[in-house]
Structures are given as C-alpha cells and as structure tokens.
Structure 1
C-alpha cells in the first residue's frame, strides 16, 4: 500500500471580535505522511521542524493524529489501518495558530483516503468539531479562507465560508512566550456588560462585511474586541506596544491569534513587510525572541499532496 500525504494550513481563530465563531486559514502548513505497515497494530511517529523535540516526548497513544484516524475508522465501521506517521512542522505549536487542529484534520483526511466509503468534508468537519470542541480552528483548517461557524444544539454545526480579498496580507509575529489555551480561557470574565456585548456583535458583523465587500479600511474598527483580547493581552508582554507599532507602520488593525501568544496584523500587500518588521522590533527591544512572517490566506484548506 502506498504512502498518503496531506497538507493542512495554520489557522487564526477569533479574528478579533468573532470569539469561538470566526477562523481564518493561513498559508503556513504542517505536512503529514502516513505509511501503512503490514502487521502493525498501532501508530509510530517521526517529527521534524518546529517543536519536534517536544512532540517526540509525548505518549504516542495520546497523539491526536492517530486518535482522529481511529475515530474515522470507527465511524465508518471499517477495520483500522496502522503504520508510521511522519510529520513536517512549520506551524509553531502552542502559539495560537491551530497546530492541534492540523493534527485532527490530518488524521481524518489520512484515514478517509483508506476507507471503502469515504466521508464528505462536511461529515469530517462534524467529527473534527467533536474532537476539538470549537469549530473556529478546525473549520478553516479543513475548508480554507474565513469561516464563520456556530454550534447549535438543535441545528448542529452551522457555517459559511467567505473569500478573503487577494490584496490582504497578514503580518504574523510569534513571540517566545507560551500561553496555554486552558489558562487563556481561565482569565476571561464569566459575565460581561450588555453594552460591550452589543458593541462586539456590531464589530463581528462589520468584519465580515469588510471582507465580503473588500473594504479593508473598516478593519481598524472591525478588529476591535471586548470579549477576550482585553484580558488575554495581559498574558503577552508588550502586546499594546506591538499593536501600536503595527498601526503606525500601516496596518489596518491587529489582534491576538487564537488564545495567543501569536499576534496578527491585517495589512495591504504594499505595507505588510514593514508592518511585520515593526512588530518584531518591539519584541526584540524588550528582550523577547520572536518569529515574524507575512502570510496570505489559504483558500483551499487541507488537501492531499
């Protein structure tokens, strides 16, 4: 049996005011290759790239790639196929760029290629959402572009896809600061004033409008958030200073990617490189190592290669 490879994009969840509902696919990728091995009854892993040394210390039985493969085999009622999984990592793990979602999506995609009756992407998204718990990462990782997704008890997972304007670029800066998703959620308030909630709803709607109608000048207001960014930015050193530097360098607006610590600025292609450099310099001046890149949106989501 031949090896199967799948490439899954990074994601930036929340997109400012779209807490737990908006997610953006970015053109930065983890690549997963599965090689079936006759007689194998488990999965073995090799990792190369960012954070490989950390991932290699994890218990293989707990790895999300293998877990999602086994889940899909069980759902379709077919016998599991086991072997070696080689992972090439370009997405910094545990930094708010959806690295765990790439593992879930990759496992489902790999297993789906091996079954007699493969699932649709819609069905795989349902499974991915069950495993992840929040669709704003797994949905864009699987489908690409900007996804608005809401989990409704009666209707299930409801979502729509929005094409990101071609001229829009994303200045992404990843500081050497770890912010766990669990801790980032723990600092959020349990209640919020009605006035702030109304303001957030308006900005989320404005963000979608700005992208649909290609009006990036609206992003300065549309990216403002009152539900999570004011609380999570306290966990990221120099956050306000980095946002100010991005704005002064020409960015439309900035926000925290996912739960952090990655910061992301929405820019025009003509200013993106000066924006990312300005953001990087703030961290470096304050003694914080970081990685900065200019990325485009990924339009296709996970795909076989």
Structure 2
C-alpha cells in the first residue's frame, strides 16, 4: 500500500476495521432484506495532521479525502456532536465496485466504525447503523454490513433485526466484468407499481424470515421471486433471467440479483455449488464467480504503535 501523506504523530493508536460485502434485496425484499458475505473491506486508520487516503484492491478509487470512508467518518463524528479529527486511512478492498455487492455501504460503515473506535465507542453498532443508513438512504446493504448474516431493516425509523443463518449453505456469485452504477439501476425503476405487484412482493418477502426461522429452505425459491425491480433492470444485465433459471435447474435454493446488479447470487447446498457455477458461466463471460459463506458484521480492534 502507499504511504500516508498527511503526516503522522510520533506515536498513535492505530484502528483496524473489517467490513463485509453484502447482498441487498434477496429478490423480493426490495430495500428491506440483505445478507453479509465473508469478503471483507480492510481499513487501517491512525490520527494524522491532515486527512489522507491510500487504496489497493478492486478497481480504482481516487486518493482524496472526499472518499466514502472519510464521509462516513465525518458523519459519525457529527452524530457525536464533535468535530472530526484528521485521520489517515490505508484501505484494501477485495469487494468488486459497482457490481451489487455493497462496496459503497462497506466504505461508509468502515468510516463510521473508525470514528466509533477513535471516540471510545460513543456510537456502538446501533449508532453506526443509524448514521450510515441515513447516509445511504436504503438500509438493506448497511444493516448486514453492521450486524452480519441475514438482516431485515428499514431506515426511517432506523431499525434492523437479525435473522437466522441457515447452516451448510453457500452463496455462489456470478460477477460480470461490467459495472451497473446504482444511479442507472435506480433510474430504470417505475415510480408507481400496481397493487398486484406490491402484494406479490410483500407476501414473498415475508417468506424469507419464515423460511429461515423454520428451516424450510425449500420455500426460499418462492421467497426470492420478484416483480418490482429485477425484470425492470433486465436490459442492464443481458442474460440475467436465463442465468437465474439455470441456477435453479442446477439445484439452487434461491437465486436473485445482488443489489442493483449486475452480480447474480444463488444460495446453494455444497453438492450443488459447482453445477450452479456452470449455470452462471455464460452470463459471467469474462468476469468471475465466487463461492462465499454468510459473513459477520464489521469488527474493529486497536493497535498501539510505538514511536519510530
């Protein structure tokens, strides 16, 4: 990683933060349901004379103090009613950018978590969720990044409730080489939907927690069906509908678009994983597939570094 250019104190308390990638919506639970994945943004932060930022990992992010991590950091200090002290950030990010895997939410949560750590835990996880849900505007990526696993959430009022994690299942992710910016995906959605479509999604989003609590994982196929956003965005993700059908034919328990896309996600038992990967192959093209478990919420730790 690049060195800090903001000037460091002679000795400082280093904070190391990890924040998971996330999948939002889970098909039917538009802006309401999400899950964390065991793929983690890593941030090392230390007090500095001026804000600084260095980045390695997926894609390219400009080395500017206006990055999303610093934005989350400043918003958290504002929520504490205090000015944000300058901080130098070293970032390593394995989460693909603009692919529907929560890279933006992870960055905001990381910044707020750094502020929470440096303030002595003044916000706690619930406070970090409130701050970042307000910044993000929709909480289905932020909530699992904070709390881990499957989460049902809303931003106003800020509320997030963890759901059970099914044991012995994996996420197969089909990640194309191209990006779908969230703003473009949002613009593809109608402002008004029919009562029939709203009722369709409400019933199926309610099936997600029912299936997870009861262990009736065969119900997840129906729970993941959607009429509010996936079809409306299909033109941004060529081959999406056929790839989801192929995942089910290969034995997936549930298959859906990750967030705003273009990543597709399938929940599968281990014996079906390779067949699902093959089902995503033509959709992924020059991209890649990943197989991941559900992940934990963000963590941070302090490391006292000696003066040089």
Under a length normalisation based on structure 1, what TM-score does the superposition of the two structures give? 0.90
Contact kept, 8 Å, 1:172 with 1:265, in 2: the verdict is yes
Which residue is equivalent to 2:265? 264
Deviations 1:61-83 (A, max 9, x none): 32111122122223223343323
Distance 2:231 2:238 in 1: 13
Which residue is equivalent to 1:45? 53
Distance 1:197 1:184 in 2: 19
The aligned runs of 1:199-218 (5 Å cut-off) are 199-218=200-219
Give 1:116 deviation, angstroms. Answer: 4.4
Distance 1:158 1:75, change over 3 A: closer
The aligned runs of 1:175-190 (5 Å cut-off) are 175-190=176-191
Distance 1:191 1:301, change over 3 A: same
SS for the counterpart of 1:172 is: strand
Gap runs ≥5 in structure 2: 1-11, 302-308
SS for the counterpart of 1:173 is: strand
Under a length normalisation based on structure 2, what TM-score does the superposition of the two structures give? 0.90
Say yes or no: does 1:283 pair with 2:283. Answer: yes
Pairs aligned (count) = 290
Distance 1:178 1:97 in 2: 11
Distance 1:160 1:33 in 2: 29
Distance 1:5 1:198, change over 3 A: same
Contact kept, 8 Å, 1:245 with 1:282, in 2: the verdict is no
Gap runs ≥5 in structure 1: none
34, 39, 51: which one pairs with 1:23?
34
Q: CA RMSD in A?
A: 1.5
Which residue is equivalent to 2:241? 240
Which residue is equivalent to 2:61? 55
Contact kept, 8 Å, 1:283 with 1:289, in 2: the verdict is no
Which residue is equivalent to 2:224? 223
